[in-house]
Structure 1
Amino acid sequence: MKIARFRVQGGPVRLGRVDGDHVVDISDVPGVGTSLRALLPGLPALRDAVQAADAGRHLLADVVLEAPVDDPQKFLGIGMNYKEHAEEARAAGIPVPENQMWFNKQVSCIVGPRADVHKPRVSDQLDHEVELGVVIGTRCRHVPVEEARSVIAGYVVVNDLSVRDWLQKRSPTFTLGKSFDTHGPVGPWLTTDDEVADPHALRMRLSVNGETRQDGGTDDMIYDVYEQIAYLTQVMTLMPGDVLATGTPSGIGAPTGRFLQVGDVVRAEIEGLGAIENRVVAEP
């Protein structure tokens, strides 16, 4: 099942079940409401009712899609978690960690799958990173690797936009360079875990103005999704709606200096999950 947050003609945000090229409004199904984060713990029990809903059908082309989860308690990313990406980072003089290296993306950076993203006033080094986003469905702590899949609600496409000079030079941690406003486009909807046979067997691509910049697969992860959840939950409680950005394949702009410019259109897509497309605009 695919669940989206959407608006119709400037109206309020609603939840919808994506059905082909339509979205079916499910917000009036008892127990659903308009917050995906609030819905996630009860979604298994409401699944049949959500699947049966057929009122308020809209063409996807006629609605505005919002970030599936716009208000997670945590938006976390892992650095250099793809083998080829780690090698290109090493070649660019970026240190490669020996263990899982996690950072915060502040939740204020989240925008929708078609929203504009800002080229910062203070930097010319805006970079792209297509990533598989994992959305947690169950409050959890100390999760064994072999049980980690049971706490996953589903998956989204993330572009983990990064401001390289603030990421590697202007701050001793990654948080500032990863958290500029609008630098967390997410979407286009939540694809529930049962629709993904293996999250480690998905092709992911990113293009800029139609030119492919990144083309890889989630099978190149150094630490797989389940190892990531097990590692994090040794430290903290993950909550329903928390988003984990699980790393990016090679092809980022930093090694070549090909950074994003005003007017660029960046499309990030993952097999089976859909695509997000965002235009770069000057920061107001």
Structure 2
Amino acid sequence: MKPEPASALFAGPFALAALSAPDGPEFPALVTPDGRAVDLRDVFGDDRLTTLDVLDRWETTLPRLRAVAADTGLARAAVTELRVHAPVAPRQVFQSGANYRQHVIDLHVAHRAPGDDRPESERRAEAAEIMDRRAAEDLPYVFIGLPTSIGGPYDDVVLPAWAEQPDWELELAVVIGRPAHRVPVAEAPEYIAGYTIANDLTDRAAVFRRDMPRIGTDWLRSKNAPGFTPLGPWIVPAESIANPDDLRVTLKLNGETMQDESTQDMIFKVARMVSYASQTARLLPGDLVLTGSPAGNGMHWGRLLRDGDVMEGTVTGLGVQRTRCVAEAS
């Protein structure tokens, strides 16, 4: 799939992308909202430059990117004539679980324990109480994903033959722009280079180890198949997004809206998630912090992913990603 022409692909004067000609190597690009791209290898005089290199030097490259975006004399190519890859190959991926209030309540109801015959209203009330307690205790839930699960924003998503309940989870993804360790919440925005879109696919049947219930979740099996995290299409600089805690996250499945919620419903906001992850780990430029997914996943609808499905994900100001599901050949 290819990006469609649009009057404005994203918010702000420019974004970062990873592009390639049909038979050429991948290269970092500055893209303008009208769908034109500048090859940053030419700008920086480095044939081996990557978007990760640009992010590694974000404080010094950002002013230069602003100047490139304003320079109408530079050669620009149409994005629609190029292949769009995941905008960055991160070193680390930090994933957030249970961070949208309504989403967690829906999952709590959907994952009813055997023998739990209580009415849905009672189980919803229980889940709401759990969410209120987590917010009061200020304890986000963050775990580690694999960079090898990253896929392009228009690539096909292969559904593994073993995946019994593949599900979608569209998310706002934070892209780190400076090394960050033990960063206070108030300072966390200074470490954010920009934002992009991630679809954090999950095989619901593999989330819990039924053979070892006391161990809990199995995120390796359930979330980290190759291409299970479509990313992009663009990294929009943080300065172009006025309030990341008030963006609309929308996923359509075959044209039907399944998720449509504001990041206002997040229990822990963007700055808190970045700060929390940094209290344990050292975040590096280009790392991703996925902020959780809102209500409206497949388990809620009783309709999981299958061969031929097309997912279209949007987040306010960040563009559109469009991926088709393909069943793995048996």
Query: Which range, TM-score by smaller chain?
Result: over 0.9
Alpha-carbon separation, structure 2, partners of 1:104 and 1:59: 36
Alpha-carbon separation, structure 2, partners of 1:127 and 1:7: 30
Q: Partner of 1:16 in structure 2?
A: 29
Using the TM superposition, give the Cα deviation of residue 165 of structure 1 relative to its aligned residue in structure 2, in angstroms: 0.7
Larger Rg: 2
Higher strand share: 1
Deviation string 1:104-147 (CA, Å, 9 cap, x unpaired) is 22111111100000111012311001100001110110100000
Tell me the secondary structure at the aligned position of residue 298 of structure 2: coil
Question: Are positions 1:138 and 2:157 aligned together?
Answer: no
Q: Partner of 2:208 in structure 1?
A: 168
Q: TM-score, normalised by structure 1?
A: 0.94
Q: Partner of 1:271 in structure 2?
A: 316
Tell me the secondary structure at the aligned position of residue 239 of structure 2: helix
Q: TM-score, normalised by structure 2?
A: 0.81
Opposite residue 208 of structure 2, the aligned amino acid is Q
Deviation string 1:128-173 (CA, Å, 9 cap, x unpaired) is 0110000111011010000000000100000001111111346743
Alpha-carbon separation, structure 2, partners of 1:205 and 1:18: 23
Q: Quick one: which of 267, 274, 281 aligns to 1:236?
A: 281
Q: Partner of 2:78 in structure 1?
A: 59
Opposite residue 50 of structure 1, the aligned amino acid is L
Q: Partner of 1:215 in structure 2?
A: 260
Opposite residue 86 of structure 1, the aligned amino acid is V
CA contact under 8 A between 1:158 and 1:185: conserved in structure 2?
yes
Structure 2: tracts of 5 or more residues without a match: 1-13, 113-126, 211-215
Opposite residue 155 of structure 2, the aligned amino acid is A
Q: Quick one: which of 10, 17, 20 aligns to 1:7?
A: 20
Q: Partner of 1:29 in structure 2?
A: 43
Q: Partner of 2:107 in structure 1?
A: 89
Alpha-carbon separation, structure 2, partners of 1:176 and 1:216: 28
Opposite residue 111 of structure 2, the aligned amino acid is G
Using the TM superposition, give the Cα deviation of residue 52 of structure 1 relative to its aligned residue in structure 2, in angstroms: 3.8
Tell me the secondary structure at the aligned position of residue 276 of structure 1: strand
Opposite residue 119 of structure 1, the aligned amino acid is L
CA contact under 8 A between 1:108 and 1:181: conserved in structure 2?
yes
Question: Are positions 1:177 and 2:222 aligned together?
Answer: yes
Larger mean Cα displacement after TM superposition, 163-172 or 260-269: 163-172
Opposite residue 218 of structure 1, the aligned amino acid is T
Opposite residue 243 of structure 1, the aligned amino acid is L
Alpha-carbon separation, structure 1, partners of 2:63 and 2:56: 15
Higher helix share: 2
Q: Partner of 2:168 in structure 1?
A: 128
Using the TM superposition, give the Cα deviation of residue 181 of structure 1 relative to its aligned residue in structure 2, in angstroms: 1.2
Using the TM superposition, give the Cα deviation of residue 187 of structure 1 relative to its aligned residue in structure 2, in angstroms: 0.3
Alpha-carbon separation, structure 2, partners of 1:187 and 1:168: 29
CA contact under 8 A between 1:134 and 1:154: conserved in structure 2?
yes
Counterparts of 1:246-265 in structure 2, within 5 Å, are 246-265=291-310
Using the TM superposition, give the Cα deviation of residue 31 of structure 1 relative to its aligned residue in structure 2, in angstroms: 6.4
Using the TM superposition, give the Cα deviation of residue 102 of structure 1 relative to its aligned residue in structure 2, in angstroms: 1.6
Alpha-carbon separation, structure 1, partners of 2:111 and 2:168: 18
Alpha-carbon separation, structure 2, partners of 1:116 and 1:69: 18
Using the TM superposition, give the Cα deviation of residue 14 of structure 1 relative to its aligned residue in structure 2, in angstroms: 1.2
What is the aligned residue count? 283
CA contact under 8 A between 1:262 and 1:280: conserved in structure 2?
yes
Alpha-carbon separation, structure 1, partners of 2:140 and 2:221: 19
Tell me the secondary structure at the aligned position of residue 285 of structure 2: coil
Using the TM superposition, give the Cα deviation of residue 216 of structure 1 relative to its aligned residue in structure 2, in angstroms: 0.4
